[in-house]
Structure 1
């Protein structure tokens, strides 16, 4: 009986894992399809990039060149920023999802739904409003740090068949980073849980320094995530678990009978009832 239950539990776990992988595959295929749809719309994407740049100046947002410029004189810092952009985004998301799936399933489901919804909305915006990043928009004056200093995850935009480089808004780097930070804060106690916010803050700085996003790209991603999290149900609190080991029955004395007094010197083993095993 135990062997059968174990086999069913393992089969159910593998089925859940297969569903999760299928969801990732669907989102990846949708992203690839979006890349083909925007092919040939470089002029529109560049014009939209210039419009966003002017809008930021109208809104008095800080100039991105003021952030990137001082770092260009330090090759090591620029390479660190490029490496963070290239190698931290996806692995950090996967590690967070796997940990939550194993330890906090309810929070995993909420994070998975938030990431899927954010990615789906972003794909629609990427197709409907192609937007060139500042590193490809000459008006901004920003440098493509990945191409100049390395490492770079992108090839020439006209021949790149793997990624959609005209999909700057919203920034999924910023949106995903904030989503996993919020999820980890929800399952962490104490003041140290606020340290998880360092990841989205560093990510927001990195995407600007590397010339991959405007400030507004991150702002739009944050607004979309806030709306999505407000709609999704909050996970139920985790139930307390009993320590491992055999459970001992609780011994409870029987109620006294009216009119009789028991001699405290006489043991009352006969008046003892046993409760069935349980939590008490």
Structure 2
């Protein structure tokens, strides 16, 4: 029976899964705690927000208000955008990590390392460049859609103890969603796999339309992720399954040539000329 041998293996797999989930949770909590290092820099963050807004105009990037204006025409689209921002980002990342851990461990390890490196780089930028999002920068004229229409994940910016809202550069929503999409594209097949890229595209539209990020926040996140993925080693290609073992080969026996036999006369003999004997005497 193989039950005693499979039970320890299953327990070891569960321990590894718990350890990986704990590691991801610790990284996320460390990121949340690190954002508090730039708390209390509201004035500098708003000034940097105005500089970013003017820099985007110099680069001829589209105004963020152009994206937000269609959402404000009706309450339903703006609520959908707020819900996508609040409820899709982290759960989608966790589900992708779990699926890759169970089905593609090498790709899981690469994605985990990419997310950790991107988060660490974001913390450095948050400390060095505190940045107010467009919804908290008066010059942009954008509406805080989360507070006005809901749902929102933020409280008042000056009293929010759970998250620092003056750390918009770079956008981890855009960076994480792009990393997840690229990992899923790499492990799936067919033309439809490119639809995974809809996730970062929708995320970029949502974070800008809700006033949570500038265009440049997403651009910087994409650039950082590209550098990180270029450094990380690629997972080895999965070798093809081995061919089934061939059975014992039998020697090829050549049949002997057939001897030419005597040809039988198949013709019907001609009727013999039978002469009638004269009747005998009794």
Contact 1:34 1:164 in 2 (8 A): no
State the Cα deviation string for residues 153-195 of structure 1 (Å, max 9, x = none).
1100111111121111110000011001100111122211111
- The aligned counterpart of 1:276 is none
- The aligned counterpart of 1:226 is 226
Which sits farther off after the overlay, 4-13 or 77-86? 4-13
Q: Secondary structure in 2 aligned to 1:252?
A: coil
- The aligned counterpart of 1:181 is 181
Contact 2:48 2:130 in 1 (8 A): yes
Q: Secondary structure in 1 aligned to 2:233?
A: coil
Given the two structures, how large is their TM-score scaled by the length of structure 1? 0.85
Give ranges in structure 1 of 5+ residues lacking alignment: 257-261, 266-280
The alignment yields a C-alpha RMSD, in angstroms, of: 2.0
**Residues matched between the structures, number:** 256
Q: Secondary structure in 2 aligned to 1:234?
A: coil
- The aligned counterpart of 2:56 is 56
State the Cα deviation string for residues 50-80 of structure 1 (Å, max 9, x = none).
1111111111110111111232121111001
TM superposition shift of 1:30: 1.9
**Cα separation, 1, equivalents of 2:100 and 2:242:** 21
Q: Secondary structure in 1 aligned to 2:85?
A: helix
Which sits farther off after the overlay, 189-198 or 134-143? 189-198
Contact 1:72 1:78 in 2 (8 A): yes
TM superposition shift of 1:242: 6.7
Correspondence for 2:248 among 251, 260, 274 = 251
TM superposition shift of 1:238: 1.8
Instruction: Map 1:80-159 onto structure 2 (within 5 A).
Output: 80-159=80-159
TM superposition shift of 1:91: 1.1
TM superposition shift of 1:264: 3.6
**Cα separation, 1, equivalents of 2:245 and 2:22:** 45
Instruction: Map 1:70-89 onto structure 2 (within 5 A).
Output: 70-89=70-89
- The aligned counterpart of 1:272 is none
Q: Secondary structure in 2 aligned to 1:166?
A: coil
TM superposition shift of 1:12: 2.5
Contact 2:36 2:163 in 1 (8 A): no
Contact 2:100 2:107 in 1 (8 A): yes
Q: 1:139 to 1:186 in 2, by over 3 A?
A: same
- The aligned counterpart of 2:217 is 217
**Cα separation, 1, equivalents of 2:158 and 2:248:** 78
**Cα separation, 2, equivalents of 1:170 and 1:210:** 16
- The aligned counterpart of 1:19 is 19
Which sits farther off after the overlay, 120-129 or 198-207? 120-129
**Cα separation, 1, equivalents of 2:242 and 2:245:** 12
TM superposition shift of 1:248: 7.2
Q: Secondary structure in 2 aligned to 1:162?
A: coil
Q: 1:171 to 1:29 in 2, by over 3 A?
A: same
List 4+ stretches of structure 1 deviating above 6 A: none
Give ranges in structure 2 of 5+ residues lacking alignment: 257-282
**Cα separation, 2, equivalents of 1:195 and 1:32:** 31
User: Which structure's CA Rg is the greater one?
Assistant: 2
